[in-house]
Structure 1
Amino acid sequence: MADSKIKYYPVDNGDMSLILLQDDTSILVDCNIRQSSIGSNDSKIYDVKKDLLYSIKKRDSNPFVDVFVLTHGDCDHCRGFKSNFYQGDPTKYSAEDRKENKILIDEMWFSPMIAEEHTNDDEDAYQQEAERRIELHRKKSADRDKTGNRIKIIGYDGNKDYKDIDHLRATPGTVVDEFNGKKQTTFSVFIHAPFKEHLASAEKDKNSTSIVFQARFKNASYDSKYACLAMFGGDSDHYSWEIILEKTKRYKNDKKEQALDWDIFLAPHHCSWSFFNDRPQADNPEPKANSLEVLDYKRTGGKIIASCKKILDEKPNPPHYEAKEEYVKKLDKAADFLNTAVYPKESELKPIEFTVTSGGPTLSPTSKVGSAIGSAGGLGAASTVVKQG
C-alpha cells in the first residue's frame, strides 16, 4: 500500500491542494486552473491540470476525484471549475466530456455560504451542481448516493435552509472519517469552521466563512499517534481563528483530538496579514495574540506553506511580507517557510509535495529543500517533519 501524499500546487495567488490517501482516494481542496497554464511550455507557469490528471484515478477511462472541497467561492479558489470539472448526471458523461478531460467529482463538500454569495461563473457552477445533488436527496432519488451524486454539507445555514437534509451535514467539532462512501482507518478530518456566528452575520464575508479543517494521517490503523497533521483554512481571517481557538479549547478538543496541532500549516489567504490582524497592516501592525497562539501548536519541525506569488517587501499585497516575517518567527528555522512561487525552484515551478512516513511528513525528492529538520533528523538527511511524542 502506497504512502499518503499532500501536494500544494503553484497557482500564483490562489489555492489548490491534492491529498492522496494510501488506497488512492483523492481529495482536492480548491482549484485554480488558469486557462493560460494548460499546455503551457513556460517553466514559470505550471500546468496543474496535467499534473492532476496524472495523479488521480480513472474509472472506465474517465478521470475522477473522490472528494472536492471548496473552502469558499472566491475566484482564486474555484477558477476553472466550470470548464474542467463535469457537472450534471454522471450517467450522461459523454465521449466529448472524456475528450475534454472533464473530471468527475464523486462527492462534493459544500458550504451553505456559497448559496448566498455569487460573484463569479465558477462559483455559480459549483452552487448549481451542489443544488442538483441536494435535490436528489430531497426527492429521495434512488441515485442520490451513487458516485457523482454524493454531497456533504459543511457548517451551518445562513439565510438559505438545508435543515431537511441534516443527515448530510458535518458541523464544527465533528470528525469525518468517511469519504466517497468509504470509511478510512488511517485518515480523518476535524472540521473547525464555518461557524453559525459568521453565517448569521448581517455583514457576511466569504473569507471569514471559509471551510477550515485539520487533515489527520496515521500510517496504520492501530497507531495511537498521528504521523501528520495538516491545517487547511482557505482565506479565514483572525476573527475566524479567534473563534476556532476559543471553541476548540472550550470543548477540550485541543487535548482530546489534538485538533489545533499541526505539522503543515497552509497560510490563510495567500500569506495575507488578515490572519494576524485587520488590513491595512500599516494601521494594525501588531499581530493578535490568538493568531500567534494558533501557531504555537506547531509540532517539532513544522512547516508553513504560502500559496502565493513570490513574497517581496512591496505592494500590491497579499502576500504580505510582514505576515511572512511573523510566520518565520514561529518556525524552527526560516527554511521551514515554503512559498509555492519559489520552492522547490523558482525558475521551474513544481508542486510542493509531502509523503507521510512513520517519521512524519517528508518533502518528496522533487520538492526537497535544504537539510533535515527536527531533532531526530541529522544534517543532510531527508527533509522530514518529526512528530512529537
Structure 2
Amino acid sequence: MANNATIKYYPVGNGDASLITLEDKTTIIIDCNIRNCDNEDNYDVKSDLLKSVQYNDGIPYVDVFILTHGDQDHCRGFKKHFYQGAPEKYSEADKKEGLIRVDTMWFSPMIAEQHSNEDEDAYQQEAERRLALHRKGDARKDNPGNRIKIIGYDGSADYKDLNHLRAIPGDIVTRFSDRDQPLFSIFIHAPFKEHLEALGSDKKNSTSIVFQARFKNTSYQEGFSTLAMFGGDSDHTSWCIILEKTKKYKNEHALYWDLFLSPHHCSWSFFNDRPQEENPVPKKTSMEVLDYKRRNAKVIASSKRIVNDDDNPPHYEAKHEYVKKVTESNFINTTTYKVVNKIPQPIVFEVTSQGIVKPKQSEGSAKVIGGAGLGVVNSASKYGNGAI
C-alpha cells in the first residue's frame, strides 16, 4: 500500500526549512537553514535529509529545491551540504561528504538582486550554470542535476530568451523534475511585477516566492485533501497585492489553506509595518487572508520560542493575532511543539482523505528520529488563468 504525502517542518530556530515528500517519493525542499549539525542543541537536519531523500548509484538527491528568497536563514548550508556543478562530475569524495544533488532548482531573478551571502551566491552561481546550458542548447540541459525553472519576472538581468523555463504568478505547476504529478500541484502567487519597484528598497522581503501547495489522494477527487501555504518572509504589502490580484482574476481557490507557514518567523510584518508599537492595528487584508482557513487549519511558526519580549521576530503580538484566528491548539511553534532530550523535533503532517492533516508523531528519542514521515502525493489540474 502506498504511503501518503507528507509535509515536514524542521525546527531551525528563526529560519525556514521544509520538506514535501510525495507518494512516489518525489521530494521538494523549501528553503534550508542547516545550522551546526554537531551542536547538541540543534536538530540534525542534514542527517534527516539524508534519511528522507532518494539515492541514485549511492548519490543522495532531492527532486526540487525552492528558495523563497536569499536571506541567510533561508539558505544557510546550501553551499556546504548541496552539490554544485556538473552532475557527471559528482565524485566519491562528494559522496563521502553526503552532498545532496538538486535535480531541479527553482530560481527567482529578483532574489539574486536582493540578497548577498555566500549561500545565496552559491545558489545563484549554480542557477546561472544551469541557465547557460539552456542558452547553449547543451544536450545535458534536461539531465537530473541540470534542470531549472525560473519563477517570476526579471530585474536588471534579462532572461527573456528562457521564457520557456518560466512560471509566473497565476500559473499552476503540475510537473516536477520532469515528471507529471496527478495528485500534487503548486499555485504560484508571487513575486509579481510590482515587486520590481521594491528592488533596492527596504521592502526586499516582499520579493519572496509565495505559493499554495495542493494535495489530493485520488485522481477523481474534486477538491484538495490538503492546502499548504508557503511565503518566505513576505510582508503585508505582498499579501495585500496577492489578495487583490487573486480575487480580481477569480482565483480565490488559491487562497484557501489548511497549513499556513507564518511569514518571517511569526513576524509582525505580516500584519503591519514594524515596529508593532507604532503600527498596532493589523491590516484588514492580512486578516482577510487568514479568513481563508479551512476547518481545523493550523499556523506553523518556524521560529525560536515565542515570548513576550523585545527580541523580535518572533513577535508575541503576531502570535496573538494568529491564535485569534485558529485557536491556541492550532498554533504550532517548531521549537516547542515536540522536544526529545531537550532537542526540538520536526513537525510532520500526513496528507489523508479525511480533510485536514494531523501531526504525525515519530517514535524514538535519538537526536535524529529516522526519516520522520516519508511518502507524499500530488499533482493538479490546469485551471487558473495565469493572468495575475
Fold-level similarity (TM above 0.5): yes
Which residue of 2 is the match for residue 386 of structure 1? Answer: none
Q: Which amino acid aligns with 2:322?
A: Y
Q: Secondary structure of the residue that 1:6 maps to in structure 2?
A: strand
Which residue of 2 is the match for residue 341 of structure 1? Answer: 335
Deviation (angstroms), 1:201:
3.5
Q: Secondary structure of the residue that 1:292 maps to in structure 2?
A: helix
Q: Secondary structure of the residue that 1:72 maps to in structure 2?
A: coil
1:159-170 aligned at under 5 Å gives the runs: 159-170=156-167
Task: Write the distance in 2 (CA, Å) between the matches of 1:325 and 1:118.
Answer: 30
Contact 2:198 2:204 in 1 (8 A): no
Which residue of 2 is the match for residue 27 of structure 1? Answer: 28
Q: Secondary structure of the residue that 1:359 maps to in structure 2?
A: coil
Name structure 2 gaps, 5 residues minimum.
Answer: 364-388
CA RMSD of aligned residues (A): 1.1
Equivalences, count: 359
Deviation (angstroms), 1:99:
0.4
Q: Secondary structure of the residue that 1:3 maps to in structure 2?
A: coil
1:170-181 aligned at under 5 Å gives the runs: 170-181=167-178
Which residue of 1 is the match for residue 312 of structure 2? Answer: 317
Deviation (angstroms), 1:142:
0.4
Which residue of 2 is the match for residue 295 of structure 1? Answer: 290
Q: Secondary structure of the residue that 1:27 maps to in structure 2?
A: strand
Contact 1:73 1:206 in 2 (8 A): no
Task: Write the distance in 2 (CA, Å) between the matches of 1:10 and 1:211.
Answer: 21
- What TM-score does the superposition give when structure 2 sets the normalisation length? 0.91
- What TM-score does the superposition give when structure 1 sets the normalisation length? 0.91
Q: Which amino acid aligns with 1:233?
A: G
Deviation (angstroms), 1:53:
0.7
Which residue of 1 is the match for residue 382 of structure 2? Answer: none
Which residue of 2 is the match for residue 18 of structure 1? Answer: 19
Which residue of 2 is the match for residue 273 of structure 1? Answer: 268
Deviation (angstroms), 1:183:
0.5
Deviation (angstroms), 1:275:
0.1
User: Higher relative CO (CA 8 A, sep ≥ 6), structure 1 or 2?
Assistant: 2
Which residue of 2 is the match for residue 184 of structure 1? Answer: 181
Which residue of 2 is the match for residue 387 of structure 1? Answer: none
Deviation (angstroms), 1:206:
2.9
Deviation (angstroms), 1:202:
5.1
Task: Write the distance in 1 (CA, Å) between the matches of 2:335 and 2:258.
Answer: 21
Task: Write the distance in 2 (CA, Å) between the matches of 1:190 and 1:247.
Answer: 13
Q: Which amino acid aligns with 1:365?
A: Q
Using a 3 Å threshold, how does the CA distance of structure 1 residues 111 and 202 change in structure 2: closer, same or farther?
closer
Contact 2:112 2:120 in 1 (8 A): no
Task: Write the distance in 2 (CA, Å) between the matches of 1:303 and 1:364.
Answer: 14
Over the matched positions of the two proteins, sequence identity in percent amounts to 63
Deviation (angstroms), 1:45:
1.3
Using a 3 Å threshold, how does the CA distance of structure 1 residues 336 and 118 change in structure 2: closer, same or farther?
closer
| 2:102 equivalent to 1:105 | yes
Contact 1:211 1:234 in 2 (8 A): yes
Which residue of 1 is the match for residue 67 of structure 2? Answer: 70
Match among 218, 238, 245 for residue 236 of structure 2 = 238
Task: Write the distance in 1 (CA, Å) between the matches of 2:300 and 2:79.
Answer: 27
Name structure 1 gaps, 5 residues minimum.
Answer: 368-389
Contact 1:266 1:306 in 2 (8 A): yes
Match among 78, 81, 84 for residue 81 of structure 1 = 78
Contact 2:260 2:299 in 1 (8 A): yes
Which residue of 1 is the match for residue 140 of structure 2? Answer: 143
Contact 2:113 2:199 in 1 (8 A): no
User: Alpha-carbon deviations, 1:43-76, whole Å to 9, x = none?
Assistant: x410011111111111100100000000000000
Q: Which amino acid aligns with 2:329?
A: A
| 2:126 equivalent to 1:129 | yes
Which residue of 2 is the match for residue 382 of structure 1? Answer: none
Task: Write the distance in 2 (CA, Å) between the matches of 1:199 and 1:124.
Answer: 20
